[in-house]
Amino acid sequence: MKSSLPTNNDVKKILLKRQRRKNIIPAHATATSILNAEILDCYKAIEKTTSHPLREAVDKQLRDLLDRKQQAEDNIVENFRQQLEDYILNPPKKLRLKIGIQNDRRIITWNKRRSTLLLFDELCALKLRQSFHVNYYGRDRLIRILLDGIVGTEDAKTSSRRSILRLDIKNFYESINRVKLVKKLSSHSGVPGYITNHIERISDSMKRLDTRFNECGLPNGISSSSVLSEIYLESLDRAVKNHPAVSIYLRYNDDILAIIEPGWESDVSNLVIKQLEELGLKVSDKNEKYTLIKHPDDSESGFEYLGYSFVFDSSKNHLSSIDISTKKTARLKRAVDNICDLIDEMPCVVNSPRMNHAMKCVEYLMRPHFSDPGTGATRIVSGLAYSAKFVRHSPQQQKNLKEFIEYAKQQIMGKVRTKLNINGSTKACTCCGLEVPEKYDLMSKMTIYASFENVMCSPAVPHVIEDERKRIFNVLWK
């Protein structure tokens, strides 16, 4: 048991993985944000000063801060390691899960997000990634790989004539067979016993949560589940990647996409279905999330994948446009409706703090944001400029994006107009009759986002404080 207990290096890897979601760029920001602001100030002072004595003094101060930071982080890491060791040696008898809603989908996650439990679950994910050599790619990287595969062959007439198979695993997390999964984990000598015990406790909690989960199902809102799902689908990934007709194979959780040679469509599709059936999984119905673009075919066609819509011309030799997907468009529209509801609730647009709150909501919906690298603030990617960054080619064909921008402009400006008595260039509140201050002029703000070009060219703005950011996200994505 002692050889498998967590080390300080394990804890550092967990903290560093968390840190990747932060806007902390300097090399000194190793595990936490402790003293980062002070250290950054010293770096800036050294760059600006021309006085040698002053430079030496600031350099000495910097070395002292780095030493203090290192000592503080070593203490934190050791404290976390001790917490993990105590948890492993004295684990809880039961774990509790709950069902909730996040981003318009049902999730199963921890009932109470206790820090030691979260840290231990991340440790399990780390050990599983190491044992099974799991490489997990994010959405952006997968889309870039897909674009390289599509665009890179546009000039070659023969090689570009390929078929695209796109499908979705039905009820993926809820259908994972835990008996098969635990058997696979137990047979691997590199998996510590406390991990299989952790999975068993999760399994018991799933059974208590719903009788449908007696044998199958993993919670889709905890860190270890994403790694466990990758391990579960290992045989599928290997089989499809090794098929001679498959040039590119991508999978993001339950979303599968393969670029294959013409004539092999049925063979590859049947292979995927067979592999999934052996794991107790099924493909979603063809009229739901199943797409097959074949050659030769003279009609315009396309598919949606990871939030984007890819459209090909009739020859299939060229990708004619990339638009945001129908699902993403609908979600963005719901966020606009939520902002409009907030404006509706305002009795006064001059004296109400809600107007400033509504303006911040619009900014978070449309513009990118950045964090102060010294504060350790979470790097929240936000705004249409981020979520539509892969949109390209003909603006005339980007109907979803154009539709959303027009919808946002018309709906929000329409709501504001009902709150104002507009007389020439003067805008007055219909409640109190006072002129609306420029800083609360949401009408003018919305004109900035009148086109996608304006949105993409808008500079990033700083994040608001954490509590206000949470309130904004609750409005947008409630």
Does the pLDDT value for residue 447 go beyond 80?
A: no
* Token reading at 377: 């603030």
CB 236 within 8 A of CB 272: yes
Question: pLDDT band for position 380 (50/70/90)?
Answer: low
pLDDT at 28 over 70: no
Residues with Cβ within 8 Å of 356's Cβ and at least 6 positions away in sequence, in order, are 439, 440
199 exposed, middle or buried (CB, 10 Å; 0-12, 13-18, 19+)? buried
Q: Is-cis flag, bond preceding 373, omega within 30?
A: no
pLDDT value at residue 39: 85
How far, in Å, CA of 291 to CA of 305, rounded? 10
Element containing residue 408 per DSSP (H, E): helix 399-419
pLDDT of 287 reads: 53
Neighbouring-strand partners of residue 422 = 427
pLDDT of residue 222: 92
In which band, very low, low, confident or very high, does the pLDDT at 441 lie, cut at 50, 70 and 90? low
Residue 151 has pLDDT above 90, yes or no: no
Distance CA 302, CA 164 (A): 9
- Mean pLDDT calculated for residue range 286-293: 60
Taking Cα atoms as reference points, which of 219, 283, 217 lies closest to residue 251?
283
What length does the chain have?
478
pLDDT value at residue 193 = 92
Amino acid identity of 98? Answer: K
Identify the burial level of 156 via C-beta atoms within 10 angstroms of its C-beta, where 0-12 means exposed, 13-18 middle and 19 or more buried.
exposed
What percentage of the chain exceeds 90 in pLDDT? 40
Look at 459 and 349; give whichever has higher pLDDT. Answer: 459
Which own/partner pairs from 185-189 qualify as long-range (CB within 8 Å, at least 24 positions apart)? 185/128, 185/231, 188/131, 188/132
Q: What confidence score (pLDDT) does residue 30 get?
A: 63
Q: What angle do the packed helices 353-366 and 399-419 form, to 10 degrees?
A: 170
Q: How confident is the model at residue 129 (pLDDT cuts 50, 70, 90)?
A: very high
Residue closest to 445 by CA, chosen among 424, 461, 423, 429? 461
Q: Both tokens of residue 8?
A: 């300080």
Whether residue 75 is predicted with pLDDT greater than 90 in this model: the reply is yes
Please give the sequence-ordered ranges of beta strands (E in DSSP) within 151-260, or none if there are none.
163-168, 246-252, 255-260
Residue 290 has a pLDDT of 57
* Residue 138: its H or E element: none
Q: Which of 119, 121, 132 is nearest to 15 (CA)?
A: 119
φ/ψ of 204, rounded to 5, equals: -60, -40
- Per the listing, tokens 């004619």 go with 320
Closest CA to 272 of 168, 176, 161: 168
- Is 76 exposed, middle or buried (CB count within 10 Å of its CB: 0-12, 13-18, 19+)? middle
Rounded Cα distance between 194 and 200, Å, is: 10
Kindly give the residue spans of alpha helices, DSSP state H, lying in 309-393.
Answer: 326-344, 353-366, 384-387
* 311 pLDDT more than 80: yes
Continuous segment of H or E residues that includes residue 77:
helix 52-89
Q: What secondary structure letter does DSSP report for 212?
A: G
Dihedral sign computed on CA atoms, order 257, 259, 260, 265: positive
- For 44-70, what is the mean pLDDT? 89
